[in-house]
Amino acid sequence: MHSHKEPEALATGRNAMTTADAKPTAARKWTIVILLSLGMLLAYIDRTNLSVALAVGDFKRLFHLTDVDRGVLNSAFFWSYALLQIPAGWVVDRYGSKFPYAIGFLFWSLISAATGLIQNVGQLFSMRLLVGVGESVTTSASLRWIRFNCEEKERGLATGILFAGTKFGAAAGVPLAAFLISRWNWRAMFVILGLGGLIWLVFWLALVKKDFVKKEKVEKFKSASATQRSSEDFLFWMKTPVMWGIILGTFAYNYFIYYCLTWLPAYFVESKHLSLNSMSLYTMFSFGGMAVVGIGAGWLADRMIAAGKNAINVRKAFTLLGFLLASTEIIGAVSPSQSWSLFFALFSLSGLGLATANYWALTQTLVPKSIIGRLVGVQNFASNCSGIVAPLVTGWLKEATGHYQAPMAAVLVILLIGLVAYGVMVKPLPRYITAKSDVIS
């Protein structure tokens, strides 16, 4: 077992290695948090624009798409995105947040724009794989920056603001894509949305300081035994019930999210017979409500922790309540009333917002700071495996049954599995085990 204390020089060296500069001022810190959220917003606009195109009859007829085909295309992004999460976590642990994020952002924006030039389904599938490659670094880079620059009592709000960008991205992206398609066509939509966000890069490069590991500091402070310890800690944590509970719960949370991201527009149009414009409004309010609830829940959890409540218990309680409220989606699925169906589509997704900031912040509280990038990479891998599975399973069940009740019943079962995983498995390790992994607040 490792000692509870480290030699002062090594501890000082580790801090120096992980942040090349001092922590930013409060104003700069929250400006960068908002910038990170905007980066997520733009990523999700480019991630969800295909789901709008797939709800348009002309697009489906042009490429002769079945429901199974639509499921495969909706999942393509997540194949590369999910597989690259752990490597992306290693990259940001080693090279920091600034430059890996900038390179990834430029790459995916250009590829998304180039999607407007495709001529066949194979090219479309390939473009979505490449967008996934570019976006793979976003979550690890963002959460690493928050972990190193925000205190525990700030992380709920910071994480809530960060992931509000994912929901506002879906909320804004669907009506924006629908408008561009109706105003011009789907090709112009991809080009405009792909290139339009590049201005973000200017602010990112200007505001964020370099935070990569400096070679001379590695040589001075980080011994071979420290490197070995980092690898041992990663393997140790991957064997714990805590990490497997986080993995199962994260998969369940995001299964519902990615069902909504990839199939909710088609559900509104095909099952509830909404127009393209009405569909975009209901989708916008569903994800917008989730974003607002996510920020509020993160802020409230922070205030409770600052008042002396246990951080793990507070964040876990918000996460469990979010899963419970999300489970009400099944009421809309079985209701014969269109009004009730639309209401619970909005209510269940908004309710899940209680978990959004807190389940990510809970991971940051429980796991070691020295390997946060890799463990967040594992968590985000689980998150985006659901992005592969949800569209495929939904497409298969929709084609097999002819309606959306079976896919939504599958969502309920998986949400309940996530609820049990967080309730039973995600809890603090015994003090003597936590000391082994050198958890740093």
Residue 364 lies in a domain: yes
Given this model, what pLDDT does residue 388 score?
84
Tokens of 364: 């940051």
| Confidence category of residue 226, pLDDT binned at 50, 70, 90 | low
Question: Lowest mean pLDDT: which of 18-32, 167-181, 241-255, 404-418?
Answer: 18-32
Cα–Cα distance measured from residue 146 to residue 152, given in angstroms and rounded to the nearest whole number: 10
Angle 285-291-295 from CA coordinates, rounded to 5°: 145
Predicted structure pTM score: 0.70
What are the pLDDT digits (tens) for 264-314? Answer: 777 887 877 777 778 777 777 888 888 888 888 888 998 998 888 888 899
Alpha helices in 54-151 (DSSP H): 57-63, 67-83, 85-95, 98-114, 121-135, 138-149
| Confidence category of residue 404, pLDDT binned at 50, 70, 90 | confident
Residue 370 lies in a domain: yes
What are the pLDDT digits (tens) for 1-20? Answer: 444 444 333 333 344 344 44
Return the CATH number at 301: 1.20.1250.20
CB 143 within 8 A of CB 360: yes
Residue 7 lies in a domain: no
Residue 6 lies in a domain: no
Cα–Cα distance measured from residue 305 to residue 308, given in angstroms and rounded to the nearest whole number: 5
Cβ-based neighbour number of residue 383 at 10 Å? 24
Domains in the chain: how many in total? Answer: 1
Residue 192 lies in a domain: yes
Please name the residues in contact with 280: beta carbons below 8 A apart, sequence gap of 6 or more. Answer: 52, 174, 175, 177, 178, 179, 265
Residue 171 lies in a domain: yes
DSSP 429: P
Q: For residue 341, what are the domain limits?
A: 22-214+234-427
Residue 437 lies in a domain: no
Cα–Cα distance measured from residue 51 to residue 72, given in angstroms and rounded to the nearest whole number: 12
Residue 3 lies in a domain: no
Q: Which residue has the tokens 């414009």?
A: 277
Core vs surface per residue 184-202: b (16+ CB within 10 A) or e = eebeebbbbbbebbeebbe
CB 108 within 8 A of CB 135: yes
